[in-house]
Amino acid sequence: MHTIDRMKKQFIEEGMPSVPMKTGQDARVDYEYVRHGVVNIFMANEPLMGKRYVQVTEFKTKRDWAKFVKRIADEWYPKAKKIKLVMDNFKTHDPSAFY
């Protein structure tokens, strides 16, 4: 059985360098940042086997999700007759993605 989830991750850089800590004072970090794009991360987790599979994509479309599920089936379980997936109800998690 697999659990599958996805999330977006921003690549950011500090706008200005942090000011180091002094005795009795926290480090000072500026709130501005430079954005370097966003990626989508698909992850499948097989807890009983202690395995995690991760794939990074530019988008999180039905096609990207279907390719990830197909990869799980074709590469990791080519002889399996049945694979159980536990997912949330995100719009891409739909059987129509495979057609």
> Does residue 43 sit in helix, strand or coil?
strand
Q: How many CA atoms lie within 13 A of 85 on its CB side?
A: 18
The pairing of beta strand 2-14 with beta strand 85-86: parallel
Domain residue ranges in the chain: 2-13+33-91
- pLDDT confidence band for 63 (50 / 70 / 90): confident
How many other C-beta atoms are found inside a 10 Å radius of the C-beta of residue 92?
A: 18
Q: What is the pLDDT of residue 35?
A: 86
- pLDDT confidence band for 79 (50 / 70 / 90): very high
Residue-wise pLDDT for 12-53, tens only, equals: 888 888 888 788 888 888 888 888 888 888 888 888 888 888
